[in-house]
């Protein structure tokens, strides 16, 4: 195993609260790493309402989910946190020296003095096909919501799904893949009308195959499906792409001994610390009397949690409150003035 990355702080989740957490840590001169299961920052704001307007961020009369994420990233940029995208943090264990050892499913390990769980409603992960043992084909002939379609050029591809992502993926493969078949459990789609129209045209023109049914077996090369008239049909393929939606899973965080209450991590309201010293929880993932799942509340929680962390990272040192308006040290850190 590679040696763990040693850091003063590890932030789990690059949603709006995780990003602002990293900013507040940076102002207090606590360097940090940030891990997110998604390929990019923004959490729910980008994943669930990227182009929708948002009106209750202090001082910003109107922006969008994506606009807010971009602004938080710009604000954070001079403080240079290290991002690790596409990795879900799986384990958290206290070491003999009190530091916390964390491992991701991407094989990265961190040894951190403080941990900030900003995991929101959980890691956004693709829904898997519910077939026993099918995970062994992931990455070889089975792919979930792939970022790029390059590797499927010239292949026989079956795309499983019936929403925008499924239809768009099947359409995008026309002319690149040797053969494309869309598989959906019924002959009806929860997708944009224009996309459905284009899909039907391509099927009528013979450019796309369409199979209705449910997967019942997969050996890596042939997908067997059950059709609505109770027949079994075999679909030979080079690659199976499943676009069945991306949903949040709190997943491994439930196993970290934090005594969750209704899938939330209890914290105090002075430090936003969990029952584990040095492990803080901020944003949608935490709970305390009066909790409101709003971004502005998460920003406050992250600010106080960062201050609480100074007691662990700089023991015995009184850290003075400084204003970004007037502090030359903060100007230096932010690269302004």
Give binding residues as ranges.
36, 44, 49, 89, 124, 284, 325
Does the footprint of ligand FAD cover residue 298 (CB under 6 A)?
yes
> Rounded CA gap, 122 and 134, in Å?
23
CA dihedral for 144, 145, 148, 152, sign (positive or negative): positive
> Rounded CA gap, 171 and 9, in Å?
44
Residue 229, number of CB atoms within 10 A of its CB: 7
In the window 5-24, what residues touch ligand FAD (CB under 6 A)?
12-18
Q: Which of 4, 49, 212, 260 binds ligand FAD (CB under 6 A)?
A: 49
- The maximal CA–CA distance of the chain, rounded, in angstroms, is 74
Piece of 1-9, 120-128, 143-151, 318-326 that binds ligand FAD (CB under 6 A): 120-128
Q: Which pair of tokens denotes residue 168?
A: 């768009």
Q: Which bin fits 86, alpha (ψ -120 to 50), beta or left (φ > 0)?
A: left
In the window 124-163, what residues touch ligand FAD (CB under 6 A)?
124
In the window 235-264, what residues touch ligand FAD (CB under 6 A)?
252-253
Our CB check for ligand FAD shows the closer of 38 and 157 to be: 38
Our CB check for ligand FAD shows the closer of 191 and 253 to be: 253
Does the footprint of ligand FAD cover residue 177 (CB under 6 A)?
no
Our CB check for ligand FAD shows the closer of 14 and 223 to be: 14
Does the footprint of ligand FAD cover residue 120 (CB under 6 A)?
yes
Note every long-range contact of 327-333, with CB atoms under 8 Å and residues 24 or more positions apart, other chains counting: 330/27, 333/26, 333/27, 333/29, 333/78, 333/79
Fill in the per-residue mask, 71 to 110: x = in contact with ligand FAD (CB under 6 A), - = not in contact: -----------------xx---------------------
Sort strands 142-144 and 239-242 into parallel, antiparallel or unpaired.
parallel
Q: Contacts with ligand FAD: how many residues (CB under 6 A)? A: 36
Binding site for ligand FAD (CB under 6 A): 12-18, 35-38, 43-45, 48-49, 54, 56, 88-89, 118-124, 252-253, 283-284, 293-296, 298
């Amino acid at each position: 195993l590679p040696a763990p990355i040693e850091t003063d702080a590890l932030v789990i989740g690059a949603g709006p609260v995780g990003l602002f957490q990293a900013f507040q840590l940076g102002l207090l001169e606590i360097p940090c790493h940030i891990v997110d299961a998604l390929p990019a920052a923004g959490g729910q704001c980008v994943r669930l309402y990227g182009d929708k307007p948002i009106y209750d961020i202090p001082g910003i009369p109107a922006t969008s989910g994506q606009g807010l994420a971009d602004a938080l990233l710009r604000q954070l940029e001079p403080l240079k946190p290290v991002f690790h995208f596409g990795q879900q943090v799986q384990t958290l264990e206290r070491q003999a020296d009190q530091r916390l050892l964390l491992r991701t499913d991407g094989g990265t390990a961190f040894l951190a003095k403080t941990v900030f769980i900003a995991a929101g409603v959980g890691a956004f992960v693709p829904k898997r096909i519910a077939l026993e043992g099918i995970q062994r084909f992931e990455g070889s002939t089975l792919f979930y919501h792939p970022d790029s379609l390059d590797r499927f050029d010239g292949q026989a591809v079956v795309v499983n799904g019936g929403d925008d992502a499924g239809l768009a993926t099947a359409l995008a493969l026309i002319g690149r893949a040797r053969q494309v078949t869309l598989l959906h459990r019924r002959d009806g789609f929860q997708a944009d009308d224009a996309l459905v129209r284009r899909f039907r045209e391509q099927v009528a023109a013979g450019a796309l195959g369409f199979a209705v049914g449910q997967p019942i077996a997969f050996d890596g090369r042939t997908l067997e499906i059950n059709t609505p008239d109770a027949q079994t049909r075999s679909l030979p393929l080079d690659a199976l792409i499943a676009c069945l939606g991306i949903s949040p899973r709190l997943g491994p965080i439930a196993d970290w001994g934090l005594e969750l209450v209704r899938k939330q991590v209890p914290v105090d309201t002075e430090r936003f610390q969990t029952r584990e010293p040095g492990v803080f929880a901020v944003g949608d993932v935490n709970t305390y009397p009066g909790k409101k799942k709003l971004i502005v509340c998460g920003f406050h929680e992250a600010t106080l949690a960062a201050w609480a962390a100074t007691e662990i990272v700089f023991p015995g040192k009184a850290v003075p409150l400084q204003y970004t308006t007037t502090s030359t040290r903060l100007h230096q850190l932010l690269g302004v003035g």
